[in-house]
Every structure is written in C-alpha cells, then in structure tokens.
Structure 1
Amino acid sequence: MKIIIFPVIFGGQTPPVLRYLQFLSNLLKDHAYVSMSYMTGILPISKYSSGSELNMFMEFKMTSMAMFGEYFGFTDEEVDVLYDKYLHLCKDPQVSREGLREWYDGYFTASGRRLYNPRSVVMALRFNQLSNYWTSSGPYDEIFYYIRNDIEHIRDDLALMISGEGIDARVEEFAASAMDLRTKNQIYSAMVVYGLLTYTKGKVFIPNRELMFRYEELLRSEKSLGYVYRLANISDQMLKATLSGDTDRMAEILQLAHNTETPILSYNNETELAAVVNLVYLSARDRYRVEREDKAGKGFVDFIFYPENPADTGLILELKAGHSPEEAIRQIREKRYALRFRGKPGEKERYTGQILGVGISYDKDTKEHHCKIEQL
C-alpha cells in the first residue's frame, strides 16, 4: 500500500475556496490510483456550479440520513460499555452515569435516536470529572454576530431556549457552508451543524448542560445582548433573596424584568414567564441542577433546583400567570412535588437539606408580580 502526499501551493487570483476545490478535483477525480475517498467534517462540500467537478461525492448528514445517524456520536449502548470500563479501571470514580447523560447527551439523529458528544464523554471519563470540555472555535464567534445583532429577534428565542423550550425551525442543509446567513432558519441551521443546538421534531433546543454553560457564559459577559444580559447579571441577587425569604426583593427583581418592555416579557402565558424566571435565576446553575417541567409527586413541577451539595437547600418553583402565589404553593403541597427529593422507598435519602416551595405569580390586570415562600 502506498501513501502519496501531495504538496499544496495556493497562489494567483483565484479565491482560496475555489483553489481548494480545484485541488481536490485534480487529486481525486478520474484517477486510476483512487478506488475510494473518505472525507469527514461538519460542513458539506460546496457546489460552486451546476457542473461541479466534485459531484462524485455522496454526503451523509446527521439531520437527514437516518441509516448512518448512529455514527455521528456515541449511542447509549456505547456509553454504557465505556462507563463499565471506567468503573473497572478507575480507583475513585467521580463521574456518574446519569451525569454523563445530563452533561453530554441530547443530540438527535434523523430517526430521532439520541446521541452523546463523543469527545466530551471521553474527556470526562479520562479526567474523572464532569466539566465543560466544549472547545471554542471560529464558528462560535461568528455565530455570536447574529445573536448580538438580534437578527429576527433571535435573542428572545435564546431566552426561551435557556428556559428549556424548543423553537420552531426548519433546518436547511447547506445554510452553514457559508457565514452569510440572512434568515433565522439559516442561523439555526448553522448552529445545528456546528453542534451549538440540537434539532428534532421541527424544533431546535439547547441539547445539554455542557452547552447550557456556554450560553450562560455568553449571557453574563456580553453587554450587547441588552435586556438578556441585564437579567442574567441580577440573578445572584434573586437567588440570595429566595434563600433568605425576601419575597419583596424577588418581586422587585421580576418587576424590573417586566419593565424592560421586550416582546418576550408580555407574559401572555406561563412559558414566557418561565423564560424570564430562568434568566433571573441563571447564577443558581453554579450550585444547582435545574430541571424544567420535571416529573414529581402527582404531576410535573415548573422548576426543581437540585443542590450539588445534598445538604444545601432544595427549591421547588411553581409559576402562575393570572393566579396567586398562594395557589402555586397549594399546588406544590397537594401534588407532593417534594417527594422528588426523597428518592425511592428503601433507598438512602440523597438530599438532606431543607426544601423550599416558591410560588411566583403575575397579575395580568395590575401588571405586578407576587411571590410566596414556604418550607415544605
């Protein structure tokens, strides 16, 4: 077997992309020494004319090619195998199987199968620590241009995605082959291709905790994001007020959020209220695992904050648009949401700190917020 290395010298007036495509064509097309060529990457090969000299390639895409979807990341079964090896080889394992799912799962194939970020899984098991192993790259900075300039109100969508909501989108296969993105669908298509969002059932989402941290860093560091930046940076005060039972300060912060007069803060429904609540509690994610619409007791609670330290205070948030905070607290008690902290019968209790029920309401007539806190 011979491996031939071709020196590449780009010069002249031809644009670099076209010179590269011409190089590939001269290297690979209609040559007896080429029986098969395999190329991998996140972007499709550009077709610079209807008679492209690279039209012999077959492209396989995670979002549209169901047959090969499992090869774009680790499946649950593959992570199970790696985790078993990790438990066998590691003397003091610090990574849980559930942690791998929470941090690195959440991508979807065309058939709807879930996939893990393979590099991050490997890094977490190698270094025995769940952490953010996402590498910064040029595309991340370029995509931020469109978020910063609020193309088609993309900041409002981002605020909703931070709260766990999906946004309707249509993934366009070739939108990410160039950074001249003109529509929201093209922007989201590029973010899916780069792994910054996941796509399933016609909606885009933030896939997992690892990527959520990236967006949180973005929200708290970029003043150009306007009201989203301001809300994220008062989140420390909101958490402190909640833990100390200062409901007046909580209502004041929520009122400040409403007074920013942005479209997402119309509070026509609890989804919009949830997006704002998520932003004003953003810093809580440093100490808590925050779950949205989690199954608990006899129903689904709006937010549960699971403390990283089992001895810390756990929080259960129930939101009511058009109703009182007392009704929210009553629902928390009647549906026994606090059982989510107790574990299954016979198991050792995982969380030992106090649990607070937090009711947050918005009155559509008076445009005021009200909060109530009770120990459960």
Structure 2
Amino acid sequence: MELMKPIPIGVENFKEIITSEYYYTDKTLLIRDLLDSGAKVSLFTRPRRFGKTLNMSMLRYFFEKTDEDNSHLFNGLKIADAGEKYMAHMGQYPVISISLKSMAKETFQKNMELFKTLIADEFERHRDVLESDKVTARRKRHFENICNEEASDTICESSLKILTDCLYAVHQKKVILLIDEYDVPLQNAWMNGFYDKMVKFIRSLFDVALKTNDSLEFGVLTGCLRISKESIFTGMNNLKVYSISDVAFSEYFGFTDEEVQQMMRTYHLEQHHATAKQWYDGYHFGKTEMYCPWDVTNFCNDLLYNSDAQAKAYWLNTSGNDIIRQFISSATATMKDDIEQLMEGKAVKKVINQELTYRDLKNSSENLWSMLYMTGYLTHSAVLKDDELELIIPNLEIRKIFRTQIYAWFSAYVSQNKVNLTDFCMTFRNGDAENAQELFNQYLNGVISIRDTNVEIDKKENFYHGILLGLFSHMDDWIVKSNVESGDGYSDILIRIPADEIGIVIEVKYGENEKMEQGCKEALKQIENKNYVQYLLDKGMTTILKYGVACYKKKSRIRKA
C-alpha cells in the first residue's frame, strides 16, 4: 500500500511541516520575490485562513541565523533552485518574529498584559544578548524588565526597537522583523470600545520599530485589512502594501487551481476536484484565482477518512463570522437589496476603499462593502474604474455562511416583536389561512430573501421552510418538527399543540413564475397522498389542520384544506 504524507490541519510551523513530513504546497518563491522587491517594510493583506502565518514561519526559518543549520528544511523546494543570489541570504540575519493574533481580550489593560507576555517570550528567545559586552547596561536593564514582564507601557511601545538595536549590536547584522496578524488588536479594540487607546499603542510600537530604524534590514507584516496610514502608519513612507487587488505576490497566499489538482492527484481524489472548485475556489487576488487552503486541506483530509464525505463550510467553525451578522443587522434597505442580488448569484458594483479606519466603518456603506471584500466574504468579478469593482460571493461555502447569518439575523428580528409573532402562529392554530398569509407576507417583506437562481427548486423551498420554522419555534408550548417521517414520506413541518390536541401539517412549495395557487394545491395533494397526518394521529392529536404554502420572492400564498 502506498504511504502518503499526512495532510497538515492547523499546523502553521514550517519546520514542523517539513520535519514531520506533512504534505506541503511549495510557496518558497515568496522569498525570492520579497528580496527582489527591495521593500523596506512589506504589508500583505489577505483574508484569514489563507496561509499567512505559515508563510511568516517559512520566512523566519529561511532567514534566521541560529546555532542549528536549517538549510535541510528547504532541500528540494523551489527556492533552492532559484539561484545562489537568493540562497546566500539563508541563515544570515537575526530575526524577530511575533504574532498579535491572540490580542483579542475584552479590555485594553488585559491586551497590554498579554502583549507583555508575547514580547517577553520573544526576548527570551534572544536571551544570549545579555551575555554580550556590545549591549549597553541601559539596554540590558530594559531587556531584563521586558523578560520579567515588568516593563511600563511606554517601554513596551519601544520594545521592538530595543530588541532590534540589541540584536544588531551583538551580531553586527541588521535585523528582519516579522509581525503576523498586526490588525487583530485593532479590530478587537473597535468592537470592545477602546479603539483610540489601541491605535495609539500600535502606532507608537510600529513608528519606532519600522520607521527610520537603522537596525532594521526589512520588515514584513500580515493582516486582513490595510488600516489607513493616518491611523497607524503615519509618515511611514517606506511601507509597500500588497493587497488582494495587487498582481504582485498574488499566488503565495492560498492555493492555485494547479496546486489543488496536484494535491488531489497525490491523494487519488481527482474525482472531487469539481466539488472543491464550487465550494472553495473563486477568490481573485490580482489576476490569480485562488482557493482557500484551510478548506481544501480539511476537505481532502475528510475524504481520506470517508470517501463519501460531503463538502461543507469549514469557515463556520472558525472565529470571525460575526462581521456578516453585523453587516446584515445594520443594513439599509438598499444594502439589503444588494445582498439579495448577491444571493441570486449576481454582481453588485461598489467603490472599494482599501485604506480603512475602523472608527469610520459604520459611517459609510462603502467601508462596510470594503470590509467584506478584504476579509474574503466577497471577491471581484471585474475591475471597473475609479476604485469601483463588480463584487460577487466567491463560492458555495461563503454563500452558506451568508445564509446561516441571515437566518440568525431573522431570528433576532422576529424576536423583537413577540405580539405579532404570536398572532402569526395563532392564525395557523385557528385555521385562519387568510390572515396567516397576510402576516407571513409582512415578514417576507422585512427579511433578506435568499433566491439563488443557480440552485434547484427544493433548495429554494428550503429558505421559506427555514423562515417558517424560525417563526414557529418561538411558541414555547408547541412541539415543532421538521422533515419527520410520517405516513408514506417526510413532511416539511409537523406541529403538535398538546394542550388543545391540535396537529398542524405544513407543506412548502416554491411558486416558480408566480404559480403560487398551483403550488398550494400540489402541497395539499402531497399531504393527502402521502398521509402526512399519520404521525400526528399516532401522537394523540384529535384535530388536524393541513396547509399548503407556496412562495415566490417576497410573496406567499397559504391555503387550508
């Protein structure tokens, strides 16, 4: 039996991937292009789960001068064949590597305490500095205070500069500074109400470490968003930003189609390529179409253990999807209409602002669209003029995340008016189809519709099915079941009201081309032919009410047998 390399799920340490012989998609030519760029400070902005942290780890192991020879890690990789011009840089520099990913605490002070721990860990990694007579006593004192987590906030602001100076003094070689997920503290601070304090700290930290720092060879930062220069990167004229709109470096974060096909060939999963493409492809970085690597690796790994595994939204199990719900909950009528266009598989034209300040995020709908674009929930299908893009939902996974968050928003939306909600539910209990239809139409007019023109009729019915379930679930003394086996099939919705011994059967149809009356008749006929009432009778319900519900866009028709 052929022995295949394990697939790395959540492994972000380059050395571990190579030495443990995990499958690795070679992105080492990032090193070549980074050296060729000559940029003093490079910022790469990409959505989460696109391999930023692994690439930063790879840069560290390539450039860092250590007692251990790490050259074997790059044997057989593309950078090893790129030429001596590039390989001459291997293992030649002191490297500072820090991630701000975990700075997501609920208060500024807790985040500062966490930063002191993070920076202390990195200082400890370079503790041999204290043994050198090339470092001044004052710098050593600061070094010890930082290692012991006793430094003031002011010293913390200078901590990266202090460490670059110490390393340069000891090694007589300028320092490479790697900062991963630089914008996580800012997004978290914005959400928790201490944005101004965090901006001041991060600005000061970067200002002394990255601007006019004579000890710096070059710096590399990663994040999801490009925060405006006025906010963080004030006066930093040496900063080069590579965003998802730029052609340069576009192939190094995420998987290309060729890389996905190669991975699937390796594991004999070629027959699943079309599914992976539908679910996880569609991101446009510059002119390159990319897959989300987190999804592809998880999907392939699931298939290795279960050949019948279905594609799913792996992003749903990661943090950060609150941005969709916040966007939907604050959407104007125009924005809701745009979301409906997107859910239909259509494009919307928007001006994208690639330099954001979180402070202004909710003051401008363009900023909200820009946030969705840069965090990977939307991608561009065409570049127009004057920063205007045609935006689309990239793939089935993101469409599912939108759908899930729309349902969550709708649940909160209807919960705000319990009186109307109870009135609606009671129309079904009382056999009042006319008022049930009127109230349901009111709800449909308020909700964001999911009318994906690219899916089958039953998938369209599922949206309205889900809305009805959400409405009925608020009746505490009703027992609401979905897709229950009853009679000769599975009914859409079965409701038991034990106190009144009333049972309700609801079958939902999609009224294509507004043929809703016909849809209601078909639904009622299906209830009768398949004997859906049997389950309710078996549970002791003595009165049975049967409803056919047909929907099209924001209209419904409800008929009672």
Answer yes or no: same fold by TM over 0.5. Answer: yes
Matches of 1:58 and 1:189 in 2, distance apart? 20
- TM superposition shift of 1:281: 5.8
Measured after TM superposition, the shift of residue 176 of structure 1 is 6.4
Query: Alignment partner for residue 57 of structure 1, among 239, 264, 267?
Result: 239
Alpha-carbon distance between aligned partners in 1 of 2:302 and 2:439, rounded to the nearest angstrom? 42
Structure 1: give runs of 5+ residues left out of the alignment. 228-250, 284-311, 327-359, 372-376
SS at match of 1:69: coil
2:405 is aligned with 1:224: no
Q: Is the 8 A contact 1:159 1:276 kept in 2?
A: no
> Does 1:175 pair with 2:356?
yes
- Compute the displacement of 1:150 (Å): 2.8
CA-CA distance at 1:219 after TM superposition: 2.6
Kindly indicate whether residue 312 of structure 2 is the aligned counterpart of residue 120 of structure 1: no
- The question of 1:280 aligning with 2:461 is answered no
Give TM-score, length-normalised by structure 1: 0.57
State the superposition RMSD in angstroms: 5.0
Q: Deviation of residue 362 (structure 1)?
A: 6.9
Q: What corresponds to 1:262 in structure 2?
A: 445
Q: Answer yes or no: is the 8 Å Cα contact 1:102–1:208 preserved in 2.
A: yes
Which 10-residue stretch deviates more, 190-199 or 7-16? 7-16
Deviations 1:121-168 (A, max 9, x none): 11211232433221533x532452232133454334333323323333
Task: Work out whether 1:136 is the aligned partner of 2:305.
Answer: no
Query: How far did 1:279 drift?
Result: 3.2
CA offset at residue 370 of structure 1? 10
Q: Matches of 2:511 and 2:381 in 1, distance apart? A: 27
Seq. identity, %: 21
Q: Assess, with a 3 A threshold, how the Cα gap between structure 1 residues 276 and 79 changes in structure 2: closer, same or farther.
A: closer
Residues 284 and 379 of structure 2 are in contact (CA less than 8 Å); yes or no, is this contact kept in structure 1? yes
Q: Distance in 1 between matches of 2:280 and 2:290?
A: 8
Residue-by-residue CA offset, 1:218-267 (whole Å, 9 max, x unaligned): 2333323459xxxxxxxxxxxxxxxxxxxxxxx9998765444738899x
* AA in 1 matched with 2:295: S
| Residue pairs, 1:203-352, within 5 angstroms | 203-222=390-409, 223-226=411-414, 258-260=441-443, 262=445, 279-280=463-464, 319-320=512-513
Distance 2:407 2:273 in 1: 30
Whole-angstrom distance in 2 between the partners of 1:25 and 1:140: 31
Contact 2:350 2:369 in 1 (8 A): yes
Deviation of 1:86 (Å): 1.8
Alpha-carbon distance, 1:169 to partner: 1.8
Greater C-alpha radius of gyration: 2
- Tell me if structure 2 keeps the 8 A contact 1:325–1:361: no
What secondary structure does 1:36 align onto?
strand
Contact 1:131 1:210 in 2 (8 A): yes
- Matched residue, 1:44: 226
Asked if 1:147 is matched to 2:318, the reply is no
* CA distance in structure 2 between the aligned counterparts of 1:370 and 1:75, rounded to whole angstroms: 48
1:320, 1:361 within 8 Å by CA — same for their partners in 2? no
Instruction: Report which of the two has the higher share of helix.
Output: 2
| Corresponding position of 2:344 | 163
Residue by residue over 1:48-97, the C-alpha shift from the partner in whole angstroms, topping out at 9 and shown as x without a partner, is 379924231100111x3134333342221111111111218xxxx9x711
Per-residue CA deviations over 1:242-297 (Å, capped at 9, x if unaligned) read: xxxxxxxxx9998765444738899xxx99xx9986732669xxxxxxxxxxxxxx
**Which residue, out of 75, 92, 110, partners 2:256?**
75
Given that 1:66 and 1:110 are in contact with CA atoms closer than 8 Å, whether structure 2 keeps it comes out as yes
Q: Tell me how many residue pairs correspond in the alignment.
A: 282
Q: In the alignment, is the contact (CA less than 8 A) between 2:231 and 2:357 conserved in 1?
A: no
Tell me what 2:203 maps to. Answer: 21
Decide whether aligned partners of structure 1 residues 265 and 41 sit closer, same or farther in structure 2, where only a CA change above 3 A counts: closer
CA–CA separation in structure 1 for the residues paired with 2:152 and 2:369: 33
**In structure 1, C-alpha distance between the alignment counterparts of 2:516 and 2:323, rounded to whole Å:** 44
Gapped regions of structure 2 (runs ≥ 5): 1-91, 97-121, 124-145, 158-195, 304-308, 383-388, 416-433, 468-489, 491-508, 519-549
Name the structure 2 match of 1:3.
94
Task: Note if 1:188 corresponds to 2:369.
Answer: yes
Match of 2:216 among 34, 42, 45: 34
Map of 1:101 onto structure 2: 277
Normalization by structure 2: what TM-score? Answer: 0.40
Q: Aligned partners of 2:462, 2:360: CA distance in 1, in Å?
A: 30
Work out the CA distance in 1 between the residues paired with 2:326 and 2:335: 11
Deviation of the 1:177 alpha carbon: 5.0
Distance in 1 between residues matched to 2:511 and 2:443, nearest whole Å: 23
Write the distance in 2 (CA, Å) between the matches of 1:277 and 1:160: 18
2:354 counterpart SS class: coil
User: Corresponding residue for 2:166?
Assistant: none
Pairwise CA distance, 1:99: 1.3
Conserved 8 A contact 1:43-1:176: no
C-alpha contact 2:380 2:392 (8 A) present in aligned 1: yes
Alignment deviations for residues 200-224 of structure 1 (CA, whole Å, 9 cap, x no partner): 2233222222222222322333323
Matched-pair contact (CA < 8 Å) for 1:156–1:264: no
Partner residue of 1:286? none
Deviating above 4 A after TM superposition, structure 1's stretches of 4 or more consecutive aligned residues are 4-10, 176-179, 251-257, 263-266, 274-278, 323-326, 360-363, 367-371
- CA shift in 2, pair 1:28/1:196, >3 Å: same
Partner of 1:55, secondary structure, is coil
Distance 2:556 2:510 in 1: 18
